[in-house]
Amino acid sequence: MCNHDDEFDYESIPAAPMHVNMACGALAGITEHALMHPMDAVKTRMQTQPTVAYSSISTTLSRIASKEGAASLWRGVSSVVAGAGPAHALSFAIYEHFKVVFGVDEDGNRVLESAAAGACATIAHDGLMTPFDVIKQRMQLQSGARFANTAACAKYLLRTEGLRAFYVSYPTTLTMNIPYHSVHFSAYEYFKKSFNPQGGYDPLSHCMAGGLAGGMAAAITTPLDVVKTLLQTRGVSEDAAVRKVNGFSDAAKLVYQRGGVKGFFRGFQPRILTHMPAAAISWSTYEFLKMTVLGDITKQPQLSP
């Protein structure tokens, strides 16, 4: 990839303060989730409703649009946006901190160090994001206007299923997202250095590296995502067996009983088609904002002591 000439040397800009990483991460996360929400809604339907009507991306889109209206593809977006801001702010700040601690930016492709930094970021991210993700998926599955808004859905969950409903999938989410983000962050750093060994600001490198990393991580962790989705949406299922599921092992057994090994890959295509562009958008936005903010900082006149 070509190295773009900027008004300042991208390689020489100072390490970003934590508040800069948090602000850039928050905006990147909100942008990513807001733009890709409709495809995420398709994935949720395909994973939870294994019928002919939801057997492919095209049939699922057609079914939702014709029966519920195109606007229904955006149900739950306010919940995911509300969670994505603080969750991604914390995630990127922690990742950048541990990148320094583990020496990720030193010479060579430090895959294990990048993976470890990504795993550290995941624990905090999922602690904040999981309740919002539960609300999002419940709203995605409602066929009518059962919940007027995010707050109504949250109140209903709390009243009918208790606080546990918001975190019932947290262990499974961590089980999925620690390997997901470990692969994602390490693959991003690897591809970024491979495409742009000079290390300058190169939007195309960031976009391509992000897309490949997101797609690779999503593909590897799809079976865990199927189990997580079942756990998070069991409360609105009309299937008695699904409603009785209690924890990861129960959910995994039911998925296997109903669909065999193939059942763990329901929603594979929309998951990839969500995560590849989402990661490309997220990393491109993050790197651009960081370049812009830090570039402005370097241009500010320095006060003499």
Question: Domain ranges in the chain?
Answer: 13-295
pTM for the complete prediction? 0.79
Residue 143 or residue 1, greater confidence: 143
Q: Which amino acid is at 115?
A: A
Which of 178, 168, 275, 142 has the alpha carbon at shortest distance from 229? 168
Which of 58-72, 162-176, 235-249, 287-301 has the weakest average pLDDT?
A: 287-301
> CB-based burial of residue 244 (10 Å sphere; 0-12 exposed, 13-18 middle, 19+ buried)?
exposed
Which of 63, 47, 48 has the alpha carbon at shortest distance from 267? 47
Q: For 283-296, how does the pLDDT look when each residue is reduced to its tens digit (9 = 90+)?
A: 999 999 988 887 65
Q: Is the pLDDT of residue 52 over 80?
A: no
Average pLDDT in the chain? 87
Q: Is the pLDDT of residue 280 over 90?
A: yes
Ramachandran category for residue 227: left, alpha or beta (phi over 0 → left; psi -120 to 50 → alpha): alpha
What pLDDT is stored for residue 252 in this prediction?
94
Q: How many CB atoms are closer than 10 A to CB 71?
A: 8
Binned at pLDDT 50, 70 and 90, residue 145 comes out as low
% the chain with pLDDT above 90: 55
CATH match for 13-295 among 1.50.40.10, 3.40.50.80, 3.40.50.300, 1.10.3720.10: 1.50.40.10
User: Across residues 224-244, what is the average pLDDT?
Assistant: 87
Q: How far is CA 221 from CA 60, 175, 226, 266, 272, in A?
A: 22, 9, 9, 12, 10
- Cα separation, 213 vs 136, in Å, equals 24
